[in-house]
């Protein structure tokens, strides 16, 4: 069975600083996808960034980037130049290629401090 | 923009009541999902549907059933609500075109309290 672990229940960062959220996963599969989703307070969950396991290059989306270490089964999210709007719950998620079932971690609550 | 809507943001029901949670998406997506979100547990999949009238159990289907009579609508049913079903329920949809790497689009959630 696939499991996704986020070991940091809460984190905080000063505005304009950089923060890294950790995620590890466990799978015996070699083909899969990894995601970071963001859930702002009282707002809908949205996709932040996606990584295909077969790609060695780390995905980036503007201020968001990942550090994907396949051998270590690690998938961390780096947020650069943190903004107040980045305050949210962040979920790491895993899906096996061809499947429909996303497995989510327990989430990290990030607070950006002005 | 994809829009996923849920019938209620907040719902209060009594133990033993039958509860319907409705979800509608407007992007002609094949896949629809119901998750339950609890603090410290993340999101757990209850059921998903990959086509009209088709459904598959997720990780925690006990106490729930679903219905998908039309492509855009996916209902979650609690046949006899219990207090341990007090939770936030999230609906999501995805196109189904990309075999797993589809983005899932989420609704705003329904916070259900069972008294």
More confident site: B100 or B14:
B14
What is the pLDDT at residue A1? 65
Are the C-beta atoms of B8 and B90 separated by less than 8 Å? no
What is the pLDDT at residue A49? 95
Name the residue facing B41 among A43, A97, A106 (closest C-beta): A106
Are the C-beta atoms of A67 and A78 separated by less than 8 Å? yes
Strand partners, A88: A110
As a whole number of angstroms, the distance between CA B42 and CA B36 comes to: 8
pLDDT of residue B97 exceeding 70: no
Closest CA–CA distance from residue B48 to any residue of chain A (Å): 8
pLDDT of residue B95 exceeding 80: yes
Mean pLDDT confidence for A30-47: 92
Are the C-beta atoms of B80 and B88 separated by less than 8 Å? no
As a whole number of angstroms, the distance between CA B115 and CA B111 comes to: 13
As a whole number of angstroms, the distance between CA B86 and CA A23 comes to: 28
pLDDT digits (tens, 9 = 90+) for B32-78: 999 999 998 999 999 999 889 899 999 999 999 999 999 999 999 99
Q: How many CB pairs under 8 A join A and B?
A: 58
Q: In what order do the strands lie in the sheet with B4-6?
A: B4-6, B19-25, B73-78, B65-70
What is the pLDDT at residue A98? 78
């Amino acid at each position: 069975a696939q499991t996704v672990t986020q070991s940091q229940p809460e984190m905080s960062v000063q505005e304009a600083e950089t923060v890294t959220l950790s995620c590890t996963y466990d799978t015996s599969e070699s083909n899969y996808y990894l995601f970071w989703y963001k859930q702002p307070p009282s707002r809908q969950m949205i996709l932040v960034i996606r990584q295909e396991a077969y790609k060695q290059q780390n995905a980036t989306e503007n201020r968001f980037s990942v550090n994907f270490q396949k051998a270590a089964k690690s998938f961390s999210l780096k947020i650069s130049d943190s903004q107040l709007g980045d305050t949210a719950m962040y979920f790491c998620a895993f899906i096996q290629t061809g499947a429909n079932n996303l497995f989510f971690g327990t989430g990290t609550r990030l607070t950006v401090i002005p | 923009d994809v829009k996923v809507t849920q019938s209620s943001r907040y719902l209060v029901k009594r133990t033993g009541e039958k509860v319907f949670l409705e979800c509608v998406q407007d992007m002609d997506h094949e896949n629809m999902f119901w998750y339950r979100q609890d603090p410290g547990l993340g999101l757990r999949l209850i059921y998903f549907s990959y086509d009209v009238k088709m459904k598959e159990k997720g990780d925690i289907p006990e106490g729930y059933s679903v219905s998908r009579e039309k492509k855009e609508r996916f209902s979650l049913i609690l046949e006899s609500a219990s207090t341990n079903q007090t939770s936030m329920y999230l609906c999501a949809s995805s196109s189904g075109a990309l075999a797993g790497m589809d983005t899932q689009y989420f609704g705003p959630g329904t916070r259900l309290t069972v008294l």
